[in-house]
Chain A
Amino acid sequence: MDELSSMLKSARQGKRQQVKWSRRTRENFVLGMIFLLPWTIGFFAFTLYPMAASLVYSFAEYHPKAPLEFVGLQNYTALFNDELFWKSLSNTVYMVIIGVPVTLLMSFFCAVLLNLKVRGQSIYRVIYFLPSIVPTVASTILWLWILNPRTGLMNTMLGAFGIDGPNWLGSPDWSKPSLILLGIWGMGGTIMVYLSGLQDVPISLMEAAELDGASWLQRLRHITIPMVSPITVFNLITGVIGMFQYFAQAYVFRGGNSLGAPLNSTLFYSIYLFQNGFLFLKMGYASAMAWVLFVIILVCTVLLLKASERFTYYAG
């Protein structure tokens, strides 16, 4: 094993040298490959092949029982003239631009609080983490009750402060913020990642700053935030990718025949894609949508990674 790892190491360092494998190394390699095989087969059969197939379908009209009818770029050009495509894209971008930063800020804030050494710290942590282990469908249905404008908990509570709560899910202006709210409630995973990052901030730096007379806020601004910046980038990128693919909650909120209601304000990209593929039987069109989304996500991720280089501090 050592031989293999040293070989890999030298390979990484760019040293090209002919190493003769011992019998044992070879056996190890074969064994390793065999262990990898289930994943490899799964990847080829269930990820790569469907992806490649969808790329082909995106240039065709798909007929389940008849050969593909190639239509060139027609699916793609049709997208640009499809009002609902733009509507679904703008709804999704709204969620990415507003939902992701809000969730990120909130979870960072919560993580900082949960990192404070107070009595019952672990209980607070459990409380904040719990929602994220509730299944999406269950939590969404729970929120359907909470956000019921007349009888729900939310408006009852707002009413106690004399606020006339909005028609959360029924109004096109409030339906997306409602979904963002639901997302914030279930952000335990993000908090957890932040929390682990916060615990990696070296105490020595904190103590040095404290001795120099830096306030809590200054330490947060100049030590904590830069030290967890890689975590922020990670959370940001996974958050953006996740939000572009936003589906389950919106599907549960408005199941069946009223997907996207009210007034198409919750018609997200993946919802419209699903509709086209599985309800309107336009698999080619849906495939084209999927590839456009793939490119959008790819571009966003690359841009975010590039932009983040300037703000990110990687220790070591």
Chain B
Amino acid sequence: MKRRLFSILSIAVVLAMLLAACGQKATPAPTEPPKAEATKAEPTKAPESSPAKLRVWIQWGDNPQQVQELFDKYTAISGVKVEVTAPLEDDKILPALTGSEPPDILVLSGGDLVKSYAKESLVDELSAAIQTGNLDMNDFYPAPMAQCQQGGKLYCLPWGTDLYALFWNKDLFEAAGLDPEKPPQTMEELVEYADKLTVIEDGKLKQIGFIPDLSWSHSDLYVRMFGGFWYSDDGAKLTVNSQAMLDSLTWQQQFYEKYGYEDVLEFSSGFGEYNSPDHPFMAGQVAMYVDGEWIAGPNYISSLKPELNYGVAPFPPPAAHPERAGTIVNQGTVVVIPSGAKDKMASAKLLAWMMSPDIVAEEFCRNANLPTSKKAAENPCFNINPKFKIFVDLMASKNAYAVITTPLSLELNDALGQAEEEVLHTGADAKEKLDAIQKEFEPKFQESMK
């Protein structure tokens, strides 16, 4: 009898603990910090309403120590301790957002997932936070903001941003008989230049003029140059098989087709690491390519290969559409407040501090990324280096866009990346691939927009 009692008891204990574990999730999140922390905070100068500690998670954190130091400045002025966790594995983010202990501020490396999170109410609509923090919304460049807007509501704020331009190697231009100070003015001219800059010796590629997808895909930029995107501008329609998409893929495909799919792949398979002087552009294997502003900053070419004689220019438009000059597609870091964050007031204040022009300037100057605040962009540190200034000036371009995001972004991007790889690297038919994706994703898209 006692034996049974014991086993019943032990099962009961286990069940009770299980229930307790599950119950924690079910109960509404307390609005006050745990007691232990609150008492610990008392001796410090923190005002009574402030939480003891705020947690900031940063998905893309190259240098956690530096970011921690930045947030220590917030502690210095507010008395609120900020703990930075960076970088994050992708699989940590969703459990954190759904669990009972999400970070107080989450910095995502792109806007791809924001709309999925918003759809599932994992992140807050920010109007209240903007009011609390008294943020000047006119100080934000409008383009990057598009990553955060959905149906008139704002779910994130862009912190730093990136955009892409054309880099060219002046020495290789000279060797090919081109004017080293004059980059191609149209996409057609770029193709001509690429041909002149491609060197084949003994049937093997020695140097290539242009690789459209070097390091990663730049279709977002090309497709904008061709006057479209894979969504309609309001993000309400899927336009994967539009003419602009087709033009973009076939324009890119020609470089592989002309120089030989296998040959280009074999040539590029031997390219050195991105973050090294063996990078194909720095090593002189590729004469022109598309990359972001950080390359013109102090940490890449300037420190890895200072002797490289290169230029930067906005990517050229197609000859038939000179009005598309200066087209850029912003993408970059965005900040969200998890809906489960305990002290929304504290999160909002921290968010406002992060968005203040001085802090934006400091953070992105150091990392050589572009600020999303117009006032921050005036900071001399962004404007001393003439190559970097080209990017800063492009931020104000009238043809500035951001990558359009929807709740389906990541899944669709994956499929588009796949199709692009097949078209560019194996010579698959672009129209066929795009039609197939349009057909497959149309119902999914309708479903996701509900």
Note all chain A residues with C-beta closer than 8 A to B266: 149, 167
Residue of A41, A45, A275, A278 touching B414 (CB-CB under 8 A): A275
Note all chain B residues with C-beta closer than 8 A to A66: 120-121
Task: With A149-B270, A258-B417 as known contacts, state yes or no: A26 contacts B2, CB within 8 Å.
Answer: yes
Whether A64 contacts B417 by the Cβ 8 Å rule is no
Whether B410 contacts A261 by the Cβ 8 Å rule is no
SS class, residues of chain B in contact with chain A: helix
Whether A44 contacts B90 by the Cβ 8 Å rule is no
Q: How far is the CA of A9 from the CA of B146 in the complex (A)?
A: 72
Task: With A41-B14, A44-B14, A274-B91 as known contacts, state yes or no: A150 contacts B422, CB within 8 Å.
Answer: no
Q: How far is the CA of A63 from the CA of B417 in the complex (A)?
A: 27
Whether A280 contacts B411 by the Cβ 8 Å rule is yes
Q: How far is the CA of A155 from the CA of B196 in the complex (A)?
A: 31
Q: How far is the CB of B215 from chain A (nearest CB, A)?
A: 11
Q: How far is the CB of A96 from chain B (nearest CB, A)?
A: 24
B235-266 vs A, Cβ < 8 Å mask (1 yes, 0 no):
00000000000000000000000000000011
Q: How far is the CA of A161 from the CA of B214 in the complex (A)?
A: 32
Residue of B98, B265, B413 touching A64 (CB-CB under 8 A): B98
Note all chain B residues with C-beta closer than 8 A to A258: 216, 417
Note all chain B residues with C-beta closer than 8 A to A274: 91
A279 within 8 A of B: yes
Task: With A41-B14, A45-B21, A263-B425 as known contacts, state yes or no: A281 contacts B6, CB within 8 Å.
Answer: no
**Which residue of the partner chain A has the closest CB to B418?**
A264
A30 within 8 A of B: yes
A262 within 8 A of B: yes
Q: How far is the CA of A33 from the CA of B266 in the complex (A)?
A: 62
A101 within 8 A of B: no
**Which residue of the partner chain B has the closest CB to A49?**
B18
Whether A263 contacts B116 by the Cβ 8 Å rule is no
Residue of A21, A49, A171, A281 touching B94 (CB-CB under 8 A): A281
Whether A33 contacts B10 by the Cβ 8 Å rule is yes
**Which residue of the partner chain B has the closest CB to A53?**
B22
**Which residue of the partner chain A has the closest CB to B22?**
A49
Q: How far is the CB of B317 from chain A (nearest CB, A)?
A: 27
Most buried by B among A37, A170, A261, A281: A281
Whether B425 contacts A262 by the Cβ 8 Å rule is yes
Q: How far is the CA of A262 from the CA of B266 in the complex (A)?
A: 13
Residue of A40, A257, A279 touching B417 (CB-CB under 8 A): A257
What interface size band does chain A fall in? 35 or more
Note all chain A residues with C-beta closer than 8 A to B6: 29-30, 33
Task: With A26-B2, A65-B122, A262-B421 as known contacts, state yes or no: A257 contacts B91, CB within 8 Å.
Answer: no
Task: With A45-B17, A263-B426, A279-B90 as known contacts, state yes or no: A64 contacts B120, CB within 8 Å.
Answer: yes
Whether A65 contacts B411 by the Cβ 8 Å rule is no
Q: How far is the CB of A80 from chain B (nearest CB, A)?
A: 15
Whether A44 contacts B18 by the Cβ 8 Å rule is yes
Whether B94 contacts A64 by the Cβ 8 Å rule is yes
B3 within 8 A of A: yes
Note all chain A residues with C-beta closer than 8 A to B422: 263
A77 within 8 A of B: no
Note all chain B residues with C-beta closer than 8 A to A279: 90, 113, 410-411
Whether B339 contacts A65 by the Cβ 8 Å rule is yes
B44 within 8 A of A: no
Q: How far is the CA of A278 from the CA of B90 in the complex (A)?
A: 7
Note all chain B residues with C-beta closer than 8 A to A281: 94, 113, 116, 120
**Which residue of the partner chain A has the closest CB to B116?**
A281
Q: How far is the CA of A116 from the CA of B317 in the complex (A)?
A: 70
Q: How far is the CB of B93 from chain A (nearest CB, A)?
A: 8
B272 within 8 A of A: yes
A265-281 vs B, Cβ < 8 Å mask (1 yes, 0 no):
00000000011011111
Q: How far is the CB of B354 from chain A (nearest CB, A)?
A: 25
A148 within 8 A of B: yes
A151 within 8 A of B: yes
B97 within 8 A of A: yes
Interface residues of A in 23-41 (CB under 8 A from B): 26, 29-30, 33, 37, 40-41
B394-414 vs A, Cβ < 8 Å mask (1 yes, 0 no):
000000000000000011011
Residue of A37, A167, A264 touching B10 (CB-CB under 8 A): A37
Interface residues of A in 270-308 (CB under 8 A from B): 274-275, 277-281
Note all chain B residues with C-beta closer than 8 A to A44: 14, 18
Interface residues of A in 47-93 (CB under 8 A from B): 49, 63-66
Whether B270 contacts A150 by the Cβ 8 Å rule is yes
Task: With A30-B6, A33-B10, A148-B270 as known contacts, state yes or no: A65 contacts B121, CB within 8 Å.
Answer: yes
Whether B272 contacts A151 by the Cβ 8 Å rule is yes
Q: How far is the CA of A150 from the CA of B6 in the complex (A)?
A: 67
Q: How far is the CB of B315 from chain A (nearest CB, A)?
A: 21
Residue of B2, B3, B98, B418 touching A65 (CB-CB under 8 A): B98
Residues of chain B touching chain A, judged by Cβ–Cβ distance below 8 Å, are 2-3, 6, 10, 13-14, 17-18, 21-22, 90-91, 93-94, 97-98, 113, 116, 120-122, 216, 265-266, 269-272, 339, 410-411, 413-414, 417-418, 421-422, 425-426
Query: 14 A-B pairs, CB-CB below 8 angstroms?
Result: A21-B3, A26-B2, A40-B10, A44-B14, A65-B120, A150-B271, A151-B272, A260-B418, A262-B425, A275-B414, A278-B94, A279-B410, A279-B411, A280-B116
Q: Which 4 A-B pairs have the closest CB atoms?
A: A150-B270, A64-B98, A149-B269, A65-B121
Given pairs A37-B14, A66-B120, A262-B421, 17 additional interface contacts (CB within 8 A): A26-B2, A26-B3, A33-B10, A37-B13, A41-B17, A44-B14, A45-B18, A148-B270, A150-B269, A150-B270, A257-B413, A257-B417, A258-B417, A263-B418, A278-B94, A281-B94, A281-B113
